[in-house]
Structure 1
Amino acid sequence: MPPMYFPPTPAPAAAFPPLVFPPSPAPLPASANLPPIIIPDHPGTYFPPSPAPGSAPADGMPPMLPAVAFPPMFFPPNPAPSEGMPPTPAVAFPPIYLPPALAPAEGPSVTIPDVPGTSGFNITEFVVVVGLGTPSQQSALMFDTGSDLSWVQCQPCTGHCYQQNDPLYDPTKSSTYDVVHCGTPECSAAGGKCNGTTCLYNINYGDGSSTSGALSQETLTFSSSRKFSSFPFGCGTTNLGDFGSVDGLLGLGRGQLSLASQTASSFDGTFSYCLPSHNMTRPGFLSIGASPDTGKVQYTAMIKKPQYPSFYFVELVSIDIGGYVLPVPPSVFTSKGTLLDSGTTFTYIPAQAYTLLRDRFKFTMKGYKPAAPFQDLDTCYDFSGQSVIFQPGMSFKFSDGAVFDIDIFGVMIYPYVDHPAIGCFAFASSDPTDQFSIIGNTQQRSAEVIYNVVAEKIGFVPLSC
């Protein structure tokens, strides 16, 4: 997808204390310009059948039933409007208690925090900080389930290096650095190109960006007690395109050179992440190793596609919006398959399904003022002056019966710094030439997503961060 800029968000809290939110202040005067709170519609709300694809909802459709069955909810304040985040709640609701996120099991797993790339890195992917080398040199890396080889920008930058926040990694300052030699399995997995005895790598991404340099190996440090020796990575000396200001990329794909594959023997072939929600009430994390079974996980099959050996596919068959299941046959989704990707921002689905989904969403939001489209997102609203926003709950349904409930902040995004009350439906129509649908990282926010590669299943635990 084309690079997109989102305004910075504050870094998540460093600890995981239980959060008890105090009661809101008394309601502000009616004349005040109240920013809105977002509340999901009750899932039992009745909607009549969708109009035909491409047509507008009929004016005579009955209004939504009063939302009397769900309890009032209070959300903690969001960042200031100048930071371009979803509008701040400003109405008085009783407080609710949110327990702390359950950390993955201590045992063989290792967990580090993750933060949105909009928090000072100018990207829409998510970022972790790891150590590389001996002694360790700090590297802030975007992590991507759609990529295998990890890489960082390296000294000396003989080709081109973009501006990053941290100093470039310097292999001459590490006692554990080495190049990968030609003829090794790692070199073959990277394409087998060489310069003398040194193996080379070259990666071209779908948005036109690229990285190339020497295939290398180094000690990767996750924590003071967890290090991975001889970890293969790219020492990038020519790096072109929009990578924001991160130091490189951490690959979590299914290929031989990914972190997930390289650590499989020590960590049971399992990793998980939780991408923090827009309201940042609890920090996110990336965990290598098994997560504890809380009894709340919904597993679905991890699908393989030989033509895309590094990708993680799921078999999406339908989407529920406000208790209404889209009236499309499962083949609309299954004919091409659906990629689960941490590196794509929005969710892209076939036009036939998207038209129905968008029209249903527009019907539920017909009381709000439309706004101009934003990039691939054609359904936006201006919530200026609104004190409360009602939006439909949504969930993905899979062929084996698993259900993934989307977080309230996974339905819409608020992309503008100077117009923080403008929100857009975070779904788009895929191009007919696209090879598959994509579930993007916006819809995955606040859920722990568990990748059990050995058992070939993917789990979802909502409200985990």
Structure 2
Amino acid sequence: MASSFLSKLMRILLCAFVLSVHSSFEKKVLVHGAQITVPVSSLSPSVNCTASTNNVNSTLKLVHKYGPCSQLFDGGPINHTQVLLEDIARVKWIQSKISNSISGTSDLKESKVSLPASYGPYRSSYVVTIGLGTPKKDLTLSFDTGSALTWTQCEPCISCYNQTEPIFNPSQSSSYANISCSALSCIQLPSGTDQLTGCSGSTCVYGAAYGDASFTAGFFATETLTLTPTDVITNFEFGCGENNQGTFEGFAGLLGLARDPVSIIEQSATQYGRYFSYCIPRSTGGTGYLTFGKGTVTSASLNFTPMVTIAQNPLFYGINITGISVGGNPLSIPSTVFSNAGAIIDSGTTFTYLPPTAYTALQSAFKEAMANYTSAPPALPLDTCYDFSLLSDITVPAITFSFDGSINVDLDVSGMFYVLDPSLVCLAFVANNADSDGVIYGNTQQRTFEVIYDVPGGQIGFGAQGCS
């Protein structure tokens, strides 16, 4: 029976497609107080890349790694089985990292989905393309606020996985230099990798391992990092990985944006003041952006909430969620539910993972508001789904998150749903195993917002309509 269930689950997910919205979507949205009406046709998938009309002069273009705007796009449909399974694995990895300071448990209920051991936690949904070396070579890196070290595959490879672009060859760059074992940055590197450094002669050797036994190892070095023709970081410290094994594929490595000395945020502090922002597009076929520096912020209206430090894992960006409203009505959730669990905001997790008490209240209120719509079977771990295939328009209740600082964030419609098919549209939230598990505010809920990280100011901001 278990085999039959998993087979059915895989068949459902393999034909899935992520919620995507046409560029004309905004013109079709009707807001009626605490309800929003959208055409079902706006949920169709994007088959072509549509450039955002916002922030066209931004530092880096941000795209979904499996979407048509990505260098990794192979012309085929997104493998959403992989997306869902990677997301669960990433959540388990994050919660294991923050369990000492937030939670006594770290796993989602195993009954919700069977997770193959081959799926790793470290593959963010979105990528950016940077230039490395002199002359520069373009490399597509996974963009991640949950990791600190930036690394890429390097020749000569002891073992390298398949990537779309040519593997970086440091011998062809005039600006490459290895870092000494005695250098302070080598000594401090374990805070950003959770691994001890080593030495090859006098050269610093790094390693970073992930929860599924994937790892990268190689030389810790400096290079010239090019963001735009006028945004160049010299002597940028990164991992030049000659031995990279596990579940990585397609992209050339990772761009680390977490809070640690080795992060690009800290390394570029004199240039950009430890201030950055990004906007995740509404559609997987759209383009967003990643910018560095306060002067690049474009949203006219910003609301800030305090940035919280997670005691045992300061790499993550913590936030305080204070409540959720559905259809303009605050849910009856005890204030201790969020404060006891603690929460982080993460660019690499697809859904928002809530304490069961909060999720149950959200699910109940949402179902009540959607009572006139036909329900559909769950697509685990998503369990609140609808069939919109015979409808021309739908009216959904607004979902609002409240954060410390008395700010309210009204989710875009694209931040409410995960669409596998017009006949299978699911609420894009997941219940944790226990109320004590760490809460993760995922990237679906961040769609269309300019999310600002003011590290020296100790605050995170949200600007509506940051990108389309």
TM-score calculated relative to the size of structure 1: 0.77
- Cα deviations by residue, 1:131-189 (Å, 9 ceiling, x for unpaired): 01111111001110010001111112203x22211111111111111222102121122
Inter-CA distance 229–125: structure 2 relative to 1 (3 Å threshold): same
Instruction: Measure, in 2, the Cα distance between the counterparts of 1:131 and 1:388.
Output: 44
Do the aligned partners of 2:341 and 2:355 also contact (CA within 8 Å) in 1?
Answer: no
The equivalent of 1:93 in structure 2 is none
- The offset of 1:378, in angstroms, is 1.4
SS of residue matched to 1:227: strand
Q: Deviations over 1:420-447 (max 9, x none)?
A: 5421111001122864100000100110
Q: Does 1:283 align with 2:287?
A: yes
> In the superposition, relative to structure 1, how do residues 276 and 230 fare at CA in structure 2: closer, same or farther (>3 Å)?
same
- Which residue number in structure 2 is paired with residue 144 of structure 1? 144
Match of 1:188 in 2: 187
The equivalent of 2:129 in structure 1 is 129
The equivalent of 2:406 in structure 1 is 401
| Deviation digits for residues 321-377 of structure 1 (CA, Å, limit 9, x no counterpart) | 111211012210011211000011110010111111111112222222322322321
Q: 1:382 to 1:208 in 2, by over 3 A?
A: farther
Seen in structure 2, the aligned counterparts of structure 1 residues 414 and 289 have a Cα distance that, compared at 3 Å, is: same
In structure 2, how many angstroms separate the alpha carbons of the residues matched to 1:305 and 1:430?
19
Does residue 101 of structure 1 match 2:91? no
Secondary structure of the structure 2 residue equivalent to 1:115: strand
Contact 1:41 1:390 in 2 (8 A): no
Q: Letter of the 1:450 partner, please give it.
A: I
Task: Name the counterpart of 1:298.
Answer: 303
2:451 maps to: 449
Could you tell me how far 1:117 is from its partner in structure 2?
1.3
Q: Which runs of 5+ in 1 are unaligned?
A: 14-18, 24-36, 46-69, 86-98, 105-109
Q: Is 1:157 paired with 2:141?
A: no
SS in 2 for 1:328: coil
CA deviation map 1:289-310 (0-9, x unaligned)? 1134754100110111221111
- CA deviations over 1:184-235 (Å, ceiling 9, x no partner): 1211222232232121222223455332222121111111121111111111
The one-letter code sitting in structure 2 at the alignment partner of 1:285 is Y
How far apart are the structure 2 equivalents of 1:10 and 1:384?
Answer: 14
Aligned residue for 1:277, secondary structure, equals coil
Report the number of matched residues: 394
Larger radius of gyration: 1
Do 1:40 and 1:393's aligned partners in 2 also have CA atoms closer than 8 Å?
no
CA distance in 2, matches of 1:388, 1:367: 13
For 1:410, which of 412, 415, 422 is the aligned residue? 415
Secondary structure (helix, strand or coil) at the match of 2:238 reads: strand
Unmatched segments (≥5 aa) in structure 2: 1-12, 73-77, 84-123, 191-196
- Distance in 2 (CA, whole Å) between partners of 1:185 and 1:7 is 48
Aligned pairs for 1:333-348 (under 5 A) are 333-348=338-353
The letter of the residue matching 1:260 is I
Distance in 1, matches of 2:128 and 2:231, equals 15
Any idea what SS the aligned residue of 1:335 has? helix
Identity %: 36
Structure 1: distance between partners of 2:14 and 2:455: 32
Contact 1:11–1:115 under 8 Å retained in 2: no
Are residues 9 and 364 of structure 1, via their aligned partners in 2, closer, same or farther at CA, if it must alter by over 3 Å? closer
Once the two structures are TM-superposed, the CA of residue 238 in structure 1 deviates from its matched residue by 2.5
Q: 1:207 to 1:320 in 2, by over 3 A?
A: farther
The change in CA–CA distance for 1:458 and 1:21 in structure 2 (over 3 A counts) is closer
Counterparts in 2 of 1:204 and 1:135: CA distance versus 1, 3 Å = same
Distance in 2 between residues matched to 1:358 and 1:22, nearest whole Å:
26
Distance 1:368 1:10, change over 3 A: closer
Alpha-carbon distance in 1 for matches of 2:406, 2:14 = 36
The code of the aligned residue for 1:409 comes to S
Hey, what does 2:462 align to over in structure 1? 460
2:222 pairs with one of 217, 226, 229: 217
- Residue 379 in 1 paired to residue 384 in 2? yes
2:32 corresponds to: 42
Q: 1:228 to 1:75 in 2, by over 3 A?
A: farther
Name the structure 2 match of 1:237: 242
Distance (whole Å) between structure 2 residues aligned to residue 169 and residue 310 of structure 1: 27
Change in Cα spacing, 1:430 to 1:41, as seen in structure 2 (3 Å) is farther
1:113/1:128 contact within 8 Å kept: yes
CA displacement 1:75-123 (0-9 Å, x = unmatched): 9956558x599xxxxxxxxxxxxx942567xxxxx61211111225466
Contact 1:42 1:392 in 2 (8 A): no
C-alpha distance in structure 1 between counterparts of 2:48 and 2:273, whole Å: 40
- For residues 282 and 273 of structure 2, the distance between their equivalents in structure 1, rounded to whole angstroms, comes to 28
CA distance in 1, matches of 2:212, 2:33: 38
Does 1:316 pair with 2:318?
no
**Equivalent in the alignment of 2:173:** 174
Q: 1:11 to 1:367 in 2, by over 3 A?
A: closer
Partner of 1:60: none
Question: Residue 378 of structure 1: SS of its match in structure 2?
Answer: coil
What secondary structure does 1:149 align onto? Answer: coil
| Amino acid in the other structure paired with 1:112 | L
Q: Is the 1:41–1:393 Cα contact (8 Å) retained in structure 2?
A: no
Q: Which amino acid aligns with 1:288?
A: F
TM-score by length of 2: 0.76
CA contact (8 A) 1:117 1:127 kept: yes
What SS does structure 2 have at the residue aligned with 1:441? coil
Q: Distance in 2 between matches of 1:168 and 1:448?
A: 32
The answer to whether the 8 Å contact 1:84/1:414 transfers is no
1:61 maps to none
Report the Cα distance in structure 2 between the residues aligned to 1:442 and 1:316, rounded to whole angstroms.
16
RMSD: 3.2
Matches within 5 A, 1:77-88: none
Q: Take 1:130 and 1:12, find their aligned partners in 2: how far apart are those partners?
A: 27
In 2, are the aligned partners of 1:177 and 1:216 still within 8 Å (CA)? yes
